[in-house]
Amino acid sequence: MYRKVLVGLDLSQESQQVLERARSVAAADSEIHIVYVFEPVDAVYFGVVPYAPLVGGADSFEDSVRAEMKSRLDELGTQYQIPAAARHLITGSPAAEMRRLAEDQSFDLIVVGTHGRAGVQLLLGSTANAVLHGAQCDVLAVRIKDQRSNSD
């Protein structure tokens, strides 16, 4: 059983599946942390929308999105009884920031969700794959089940 677990969330409805799986592999007295990594608009649209940060209102848009994500992270934290100090909202590249946080705070396990789409990401999503390749601890990729269908 793992004693210190970092759960990377995208804050979608499927985040609960990832959290449930993390709890199932963690020791009863384990420390579970949740993290959402916010990608700045200029990082997401770099090369696609030139000068995205210069577009009027981009900063206020980012601030409002960040506030909404913080609210969702806090709701999940409260629902799963995760203390405020174990809820992390970080800005940057999701995989790199999760690996950094895990290493800096000596986590035993990183848990991330994956939809397992197609092609190269058939087995792992791009973020899950990037976390796996470079993490210094174990990584568990939780296959997200489509809640709209009954097939596995």
148 found inside a domain: no
16 found inside a domain: yes
57 found inside a domain: yes
Q: What is the mean pLDDT of residues 82-106?
A: 96
105 found inside a domain: yes
Q: What is the DSSP string of 30-58?
A: EEEEEEEEEPPHHHHSTTTSTTGGGSTTH
Q: How much of the chain, in percent, has pLDDT values that exceed 90?
A: 59
Q: How many domains does the chain have?
A: 1
Q: 44-75 pLDDT, tens per residue? A: 554 545 555 555 556 788 888 899 999 999 99
Q: What is the mean pLDDT of residues 66-88?
A: 96
22-28 CB contacts, 8 Å cutoff, 24+ apart:
22/109, 22/111, 22/140, 22/142, 23/80, 25/1, 25/109, 25/111, 25/140, 26/1, 26/2, 26/109, 27/1, 27/2, 27/3, 28/1
152 found inside a domain: no
Q: What is the mean pLDDT of the chain?
A: 84
pLDDT at 100 over 60: yes
Q: Residue 102 is part of a domain; what is its CATH number?
A: 3.40.50.620
Q: What is the pLDDT of residue 56?
A: 54
Q: What is the pLDDT of residue 54?
A: 52
pLDDT at 81 over 80: yes
pLDDT at 36 over 60: yes
149 found inside a domain: no
39 found inside a domain: yes
Q: 121-152 pLDDT, tens per residue? A: 444 458 888 898 889 999 999 988 775 544 44
Q: What is the pLDDT of residue 125?
A: 58
Domain with 125 in it: 2-143
Task: Please write down the HEC assignment for all residues of 64-98.
Answer: HHHHHHHHHHHHHHHHCCCCHHHEEEEECCHHHHH
Q: What is the pLDDT of residue 50?
A: 52
35 found inside a domain: yes
